Structure 1
Amino acid sequence: MPSLIILADDYTSACDTGLEFAKAGLHTVACETDRLETLDLDGIDVIVCDTETRNVTRSEARGYVTEACGMLRPIAADIVYKKVDFALRGHIAAEIYTVMSSLDLGLAILAPAFPAAGRVTVGGYHLVHGVPVDRTQAGHDAGAPVRGSFLPHLLEGHPDLDIRLLPLEDVAQGPDHVGAIIDSHRDAGRVLIVADAASEEDLATIATAASRSTQPPLLCGSAGLAGH
């Protein structure tokens, strides 16, 4: 049975994330939601589910993600990863909240940085080669334009989702320190921790801290975090 489930909002996004795990030698299968019911799970390590929700309405996105989670929940995978666009297009907050509520998860960590592609998050601001993401082409995307670069504000709109910032100075102190911060947010309702990351080392710290947790949080990020 698969030990890892990845939920992505478009097929390209699904494939580039799945590739990170396939390169590590894991049997990885990417498919759209309607194939889940007939998918033979024998021998599969990683399922990457494309909900195809980036360019639909927020309400439709919630519905499609809820449907996918309902099909994936019986698998009881050890880790669930919510893939987000490294340029922050799509209904990021709505989909993260939907996954959390559908799978009864109280804590999520979002680290959308992809330093290898020039995408970093510093002070909660998501930058593309040093430029706020909403001032790049992503801000003019025809289907899903990005309306801001400060993640805590961009993710607002869900009163039941408490958004906290994990600044770079905390990430720099290593996995044990980050892990203690993660644990401090447990049992506080539904909490989404937005993590700064400006290097591969920062992403590795976040991934390591999350993996050591006795109750792994919902991990959310681009192919950058997935690579760790």
Structure 2
Amino acid sequence: MSQVPHFKVAILADDLTSAADGAGPFVSHGLTAHIGRQHLPSGEVDVCAIDLASRSASATDASVRVENYARDTRSTPVMLKTVDSTLRGHVHEEIAAALRGSQRRRVVFAPAFPTAGRTTVDGI
């Protein structure tokens, strides 16, 4: 990628629903968003939510996709890596790949979907 647009928030999603769900709250607070399927927007937006289709990919392919997009968006102040709230997919591999690609040192991991009754309380 020759020139990477700058975003306030990058959302690396494991599927299209997660990309849209991740961008929604930011849009409802007045930010602009792009929701794409395995490509970054060419123009400037506040929030870039990318469906990496990694949940249904092999663990190796999922890791490569996540690491590449994390690298391409590593200058973003806030990066979110979504996972399924029931922990389907390659959760460990994708989080590790996001950390490698983004060169970040910390992650907050809180799988939940409160409106569906799935919450994280005291780490459980």
Q: Normalising by the residue count of structure 1, what TM-score does the alignment of the two structures yield?
A: 0.49
Aligned position for 1:8 = 13
- Quote the residue 1:58 is aligned against: 59
- 1:91-136, CA deviations, whole angstroms, 9 ceiling, x for partnerless residues? 11111111111111111111112222200223533xxxxxxxxxxx
Alignment of structure 1 residues 151-190 onto 2, 5 Å? none
Q: Aligned ranges for residues 1-228 of structure 1 at < 5 Å? A: 1-33=6-38, 35-36=39-40, 39-42=41-44, 44-73=45-74, 76-125=75-124
Unpaired stretches in structure 1, ≥5 consecutive residues: 126-228
Q: Secondary structure, in 3 states, of the residue corresponding to 2:76?
A: coil
CA distance in 1, matches of 2:81, 2:70: 11
Secondary structure in 1 matching 2:86: coil
Q: Is the 8 A contact 1:65 1:95 kept in 2?
A: yes
1:11-43 per-residue CA deviation (whole Å, 9 max, x = no partner) reads 11111111111111110111122x32xx2232x
More helix by share: 1
SS in 2 for 1:81: strand
Q: Is the 8 A contact 2:68 2:101 kept in 1?
A: no
SS at match of 1:64: helix
- 2:3 alignment counterpart: none
After superposition, the CA RMSD in angstroms is 1.5
Number of residues paired by the alignment?
119
TM-score, normalised to structure 2, is 0.86
What are the ranges of 5 or more consecutive residues in structure 2 without an aligned counterpart? 1-5
Give CA deviations for 1:42-76 in whole Å, capped at 9, x if unaligned.
2x100001110101111111111122223323xx1
Question: Secondary structure, in 3 states, of the residue corresponding to 1:12?
Answer: helix
Do 1:2 and 1:41's aligned partners in 2 also have CA atoms closer than 8 Å? Answer: no
Query: What residue is the counterpart of 1:157 in the other structure?
Result: none
Q: What amino acid is the match of 2:88? A: R
Residue aligning to 1:197: none
Q: Distance in 2 between matches of 1:26 and 1:53?
A: 26
Residue type at the aligned position of 2:61: E
Tell me which of the two structures has the higher relative contact order, counting C-alpha pairs closer than 8 angstroms and 6 or more residues apart. 2
SS in 1 for 2:73: helix
Letter in structure 2 aligned against 1:50: D
- 1:86 counterpart SS class: coil
Take 1:58 and 1:90, find their aligned partners in 2: how far apart are those partners?
Answer: 8
**What's the % identity of the aligned pairs?**
34
Q: Which range is displaced more, 7-16 or 113-122? A: 113-122
